[in-house]
Chains A and B, each alone.
Chain A
Amino acid sequence: MKTGIAFWNILKKDIQNYYLKPPNISWGIIFPLSWTLMQLIRSSGGINISDIRGMLPGLMAMSVLFGTTSMLAVTITFERKGRSFDRLLLAPISLSTLVIAKLSGAILFGIFNAFVPVILAAFFVDLVGINWSAVLLSVFLIAVTSTLLGLMIAVSAKEVFEAQTFSNFFRFPMLFLCGLFLPISSLPIFLRPLSYLLPLTYGTDMLSGSIIGTSMLSPMLCVIIMLVFTVVFFIYCQYNIHRKWFC
């Protein structure tokens, strides 16, 4: 019960202090909107509304990736710099509880970000036939793995600008390697193995399967692989936190 109170209040504090701040809400809306428009007018020389549904998996995955990695890496680095994070480390709650509470805020923010393009798309195209439970599961798993990536960055960075630099170092290559906008089959052959080492590839594939009905891998396999990524990332983060934050 005591752990539950601490968990809920850390999550509530993060949502109030960081995620519900106007700049972050506007980021969550403007960023996916800009990318949607950019994709629509990219090469065809004009807006092609019917493309929107095809772009949704990539836009959703990208929105989650950018929302979660930025927010968690920056907020933790910011709190560590101001030493308010020490207060959390000194609380009589397990490190896992603390980490999960911090992750939960970013995961919720990521899920919110993912559905901004969906809401916008709903005004222009028919979204009938989408497997929403599979979409939700995919978005959740992408949010979890991306948030853990953000945590890995936060553990390594000492300054907020370092966290932002590290985030971009991971994120931008992922945009091109994970099949968000370019099919993996069209990538140079030597880059393809790299794509399969990234969790976002599997999340995007699951989203494609549930929104446009085309996927490379079985959804069950994608779920299992993403769960494995989640466990490995979580253990690695815990190990690194012990090594770097309690030295």
Chain B
Amino acid sequence: MEQISRREKKAMNTTDIVTVSKLSKRYENLTAVNGISFSIRQGEIFGFLGPNGAGKTTTINMMIGLARPSDGSITINGIDAVKNIKKAQSIMGIVPDESNLYDEMDGFDNLCFCGSLYGMRKVPREKRAKELLEQFDLTNAGKRPFKAYSKGMRRKLTIAAGIIHEPKILFLDEPTTGIDVESARQIRQLLLEFKKDGTTVFITTHYIEDAERICDHIAFIVGGNIVALGTVPELMESVSHGYTIQLVADTNLELLADELQTHLDSCIVKTGKNNLVTLVSEERIALSPVLQYLSGKGISVFEAKELRPTLEDVFVKITGIEAAKLEKEREKGGMSK
């Protein structure tokens, strides 16, 4: 019986491309990362969220080989990335939080140089560089020096450099920080395309909306500890209690509130400004009886929607970090939303 469960466990784990176990990073008087564990499935987008100084960059640096873990293990595609980081790096694409290409080289040469670092020969790397410039809308800028690029273009070329060797897993540190709305949108779109192509993506960000839109699994890290981990619906589920429906009627329903509450005894009814009615219930709320009741009273309903908690609500609830603080950090990082 134990044999079967082990086999099952193994089968489940075969889809994990990254396994991080009890990973820690300690400096003299500071524990930057405190024994965190998580795994990433092949082909998914994994979001690593937290405020500035939470340990996101330290974690990513340990995973890509720029920092040595104090404790714990990292396995990437079956390779022990602590002991054999160079082998693991050959299947990784890395996009740091700041563009780190060569200012004096043009876009095309930068891409070719990055390809050469992974042992790509001249002809294939030049072909791939041209394809990437086209894919990233940078063909016309290909012969311009990198230092002449705008922030959004720099970020796009840095991502292109990270994938020139077609890595199995792509690490991106704050990919949309400090760039314009359109570039941020394009980058989110690209990440979804990578996922479609089967590339696994690990992304750190403090833009919760980004993570909510594109990530399959999310981990919240605060003070070096993972405080929540799961899919977006799982995380939502963990904080949502019951169901909430909001209606917009053609008239103010404050006078009808008590009557409505009696009729819908399984719900809590709240009326508000702008002809809003909010129904909260532990059970799913069927909409047609409500609409029929209101219609019978001669009231039209223009809009009815189910209110779900956002990932930001979840983050705030789990971490206790207020939305205002997050907003401040976004501003520090440069507004792109």
Chain A residues near B (Cβ < 8 Å): 1-3, 5-6, 8-10, 13, 17, 82-84, 86-94, 246-247
Contacts and interface: CB of A to CB of B under 8 A. Distances in A.
B120 to A, nearest CB: 7
Nearest to A94: B86
Interface in B66-85: 66-68
B284 interface: no
Contacts of A94: 86
Contact of A90 (B65, B101, B102, B105): B65
B94 A90 contact: yes
Interface stretch (B13-21, B110-118, B237-245, B273-281): B110-118
B160 to A, nearest CB: 13
Given A2-B119, A13-B113, A17-B104, A92 B64 contact: no
Interface residues of B, number: 28
Specify which of A6, A84, A87 lies most central, judged by the most chain B CB atoms within 10 Å of its CB: A87
A75 to B, nearest CB: 11
Given A17-B102, A17-B105, A83-B98, A90 B66 contact: yes
A91 B89 CA distance: 7
Given A9-B117, A94-B86, A84 B66 contact: no
B101 A87 contact: yes
Contact of B121 (A5, A17, A83, A247): A5
A90 B64 contact: yes
B100 interface: yes
A86 B66 contact: yes
Contacts of B98: 83
A82 B102 CA distance: 9
B103 interface: yes
20 contacts: A2-B119, A3-B119, A5-B121, A6-B116, A6-B118, A8-B116, A83-B100, A84-B101, A84-B102, A86-B66, A86-B100, A87-B161, A90-B64, A90-B92, A90-B94, A91-B117, A92-B89, A93-B117, A94-B86, A246-B67
B39 interface: no
B86 A93 contact: yes
A91 to B, nearest CB: 4
B68 A87 contact: no
Given A86-B66, A246-B67, A6 B100 contact: no
Interface in B174-209: none
B22 to A, nearest CB: 20
B119 A5 contact: yes
Nearest to A86: B100
Given A9-B116, A87-B114, A92-B89, 12 more contacts: A6-B118, A10-B117, A17-B104, A17-B105, A84-B100, A87-B100, A87-B161, A89-B66, A91-B89, A91-B118, A246-B66, A247-B68
A87 B118 CA distance: 11
B96 interface: yes
B10 interface: no
4 closest Cβ contacts across the A-B interface?
A: A2-B119, A9-B116, A91-B117, A92-B90
Interface string B291-322: 00000000000000000000000000000000
B325 interface: no
Contacts of A6: 116-119
A90 B94 CA distance: 8
Nearest to A98: B117
B213 interface: no
Contact of B68 (A8, A89, A246): A246
A82 B86 contact: no
A2 B118 contact: yes
